[in-house]
Amino acid sequence: MKPKYLLTILLTTITIFLFSKGSIFAQEDSIKYINGKIIEIVEEKEIEHKETKEKQLYQKIKILVTKGDKKGEEIISENGTQPMGHTNKYRVGDKILISQMIDAEGNEIYYIVDYIRTKSLGILFAIFTVLAVLVGRKKGFLSLLSMALSFLIIFVFLLPQIEQGKDPILITILTSMIIIPITFYLSHGFNKRTTIAIVGTIIALTITGILSVIFSNLAHLSGAESEEVLFLQGMNNTTYNLKGLLLAGILIGTLGIMDDITISQTSIVHQLYDLKKDIPTRELFKRSLELGRDHIASMINTLILVYAGASMPLLLLFMSAERTFSEVISLEVVSTEIVRTLVGSIGLILAVPITTYLACLVVKKQEKF
């Protein structure tokens, strides 16, 4: 690996840990999580919940603790005591995650959280990694490294800073300024093309951020549109800027797709210039933009389908409810997804002419990148 790559990784790691020192795992959680394996279904029946009056599955389960302070001990927990639309049906041999808490009287109580899925997810990730390296070779490996660094920056720097109450937008912008050059240079190499793509991405992302602020205000979006956001707000004493979290999510989501667009446009300009080095700047820009339009269409379609797929249960819910189109899109949970999708798409659209223009200016001032 080139020394520049190592220098980039080293500087990034130092920067992240300087900013995040003492922030990770800084809060002591009163809830402990332990791993266990079901050894016996003591009781299983259908009950009517006292609050909802809905029938649901109830299980009394004996569990062998396999990890945690209680390792080797057997505990009893109940499944199906909470008012839920769906309750997992556990079986003997299932590996599960359990929350261990202390009630007001000082007694230990245990709740089954969910299945332990690390093994299946690990297998899937291994398949993904092997295929990425086999098919992509060096590029695939560097892309995996870029992905790992992006996750490292997000989990070690971005999330802890937000958890401490810092402004999500400012922290996300700073995070993006770190992620963009590292991932671009690692994936595409240290060259003028990559540098142009980085500048184009930063400009387009800045415009996306400005638009997200403007239209989230015009649409009166609060950021508290989902249950997980409300749960986050109530789980500890930290007061989160929910609108800031919404805007930060838009920026991070858009950033992931801009890479492909900006790199492709700089490559298109380079290839056209190599074919005809005496081509006027205006003509070079026009032809490059024409080739980039197909890319715009496919990327926008990808973005919309990703959001639509993620919101499928929500869309079905409103389809089944007898509401007008106007009523549905006025609901904050729907309006939020619309703003997220359209603002992100606008950012992708603008990334094409911005990056193309920058590449044309640079390529005409020197013989080649």
Sequence-distant contacts of 71-74: CB under 8 A, at least 24 apart:
71/34, 74/39
Average pLDDT of the segment spanning 337-345: 85
Q: Tens digits of per-residue pLDDT, 262-288?
A: 999 999 998 898 888 888 888 999 999
Residue 42 lies in a domain: yes
CATH of the domain at 238: 1.20.1640
Buried b (16+ CB within 10 A) or exposed e, 78-114: bbbbeeeeeeeebeeebbbbbebeeeeeeeeebebee
pLDDT score of 86: 57
The answer for residues whose C-beta is within 8 angstroms of residue 114's C-beta and 6 or more apart is: 88, 96, 97
pLDDT score of 1: 46
Within this chain, do residues 93 and 164 fall inside the same structural domain, yes or no?
A: no
Positive/negative CA dihedral, 121, 127, 130, 133 = negative
CA distance 285 to 271: 12
Q: Which structure tokens are listed for 251?
A: 């920026």
From the list 184, 187, 206, 183, the residue with the least C-alpha distance to 195 is 184
Residue 121 lies in a domain: no
Average pLDDT of the segment spanning 101-120: 85
Please compute Rg for the chain using Cα positions.
Answer: 25
pLDDT score of 22: 46
Whether 171 and 162 have beta carbons less than 8 Å apart is answered as yes
Within this chain, do residues 84 and 163 fall inside the same structural domain, yes or no?
A: no
Calculate the average pLDDT of the chain: 81
Residue 22, exposed/middle/buried by CB under 10 A (0-12, 13-18, 19+)?
A: exposed
Calculate the dihedral angle through the C-alpha atoms of 140, 358, 350, 144, rounding to the nearest 10 degrees: 10
pLDDT score of 199: 95
Count the domains in the chain: 2
**pTM strictly above 0.95:** no
From the list 247, 277, 262, 253, the residue with the least C-alpha distance to 345 is 253
Between 84-88, 94-98, 250-254, the lowest mean confidence (pLDDT) is in: 84-88
Q: Tens digits of per-residue pLDDT, 294-317?
A: 777 777 777 778 777 777 777 777
Within this chain, do residues 291 and 180 fall inside the same structural domain, yes or no?
A: yes
Q: Tens digits of per-residue pLDDT, 162-184?
A: 888 788 888 888 899 889 998 89
CA distance 7 to 173: 22
Q: Give whole-number Cα distances, 257 to 81, 124, 262, 346, in Å.
A: 43, 23, 9, 12
Confidence label for 25 from pLDDT (cuts 50, 70 and 90) = very low
CA distance 177 to 15: 12
Within this chain, do residues 293 and 355 fall inside the same structural domain, yes or no?
A: yes
pLDDT score of 14: 52
Which range of residues forms the domain containing residue 312? 137-363
Confidence label for 233 from pLDDT (cuts 50, 70 and 90) = low
Residue 101 lies in a domain: yes
Average pLDDT of the segment spanning 363-367: 74
| The pLDDT of residue 63 is above 50 | yes
Residue 11 lies in a domain: no
pLDDT score of 355: 94
Confidence label for 8 from pLDDT (cuts 50, 70 and 90) = low
Within this chain, do residues 57 and 160 fall inside the same structural domain, yes or no?
A: no
Whether 168 and 245 have beta carbons less than 8 Å apart is answered as yes
Angle, helices 312-320 vs 281-310, to 10°: value is: 60
Q: In the listed set 62, 81, 116, which residue is the last one of a domain according to the structure?
A: 116
CA distance 222 to 102: 34
Within this chain, do residues 104 and 144 fall inside the same structural domain, yes or no?
A: no
Within this chain, do residues 107 and 238 fall inside the same structural domain, yes or no?
A: no
Confidence label for 24 from pLDDT (cuts 50, 70 and 90) = very low
Within this chain, do residues 71 and 147 fall inside the same structural domain, yes or no?
A: no
